[in-house]
Amino acid sequence: MGRLLTSLFATSDEQLMWRVKLQDDAAAFAKLVARWEQPIQRLCVRMTGDLHRAEDLTQMAFTRVFTRRTEWEPVGKFSTFLWRVALNLCHDETRRIQRRGEFSLEALEESDRAGEARFVAAEPAPDAHAVSLERGESVRSALTELAPQYREVVVLRHYEGLKFREIGEVLGIPEGTVKSRMAEALGQLNRRLNHLNEDHVCNHKNQKHVMRMR
């Protein structure tokens, strides 16, 4: 009951941003930062592959939102506006990274461990743990190899849980284009990760063979 009342009387993102726009309300902006800092940082980590850069880009995104507060119009969700600002910064940074030939998988690993900690159940067997680590590292590596236009769709959909329509609003493209990019992205990931699936099948067959011999 308490949670329902809190939800009913909570101030929306759009109401908070309206206060920021009209009144330069620092407290309202602080609430927006508290709500959205972690999702935006996760996005930046997966788009750039660097935790420290992601932290800087997250701060830059909120700074840019505040600097351009008078330009914001309540024609859509505040989150759509914020995702777009953050993605534009990530694209600029990604181009700089590519020119320097840098990319940090360690940041992606750290981000994924933090995000997935709540899903950990029983301690896996050593061999299962090794397979899980290998698969996780391969997925992160494959994600970084996707072109930004495909990577952003995968990140927004599978890691941040946006609907195809919402992703289209963030990127300014039709929903059908989002779906086609997702299909292409998943196809590329599957091709890159195909060797893991083959190894898994082989290991499973070997385990069954060993069990029959006992």
CB 133 within 8 A of CB 16: no
At 144 the pLDDT is: 85
Residue ranges of the chain whose pLDDT lies below 50: 4-8, 114-131, 133, 200-211, 213-214
CB 184 within 8 A of CB 122: no
pLDDT tens per residue, range 4-48: 444 445 799 999 999 999 999 999 999 999 999 999 999 999 998
User: Could you give all domains of the chain from N- to C-terminal order, each with its CATH number?
Assistant: 11-120 (1.10.1740.10), 124-214 (1.10.10.10)
Q: At a CB cut-off of 8 Å and minimum separation 6, what does 31 contact? A: 11, 16
At 99 the pLDDT is: 77
Structure tokens at 38: 């972690």
Give the DSSP per-residue string, 71-82. Answer: G--TTS-HHHHH
Q: What is the reported pTM?
A: 0.74
What residue type is assigned to position 172 of the chain?
Answer: G
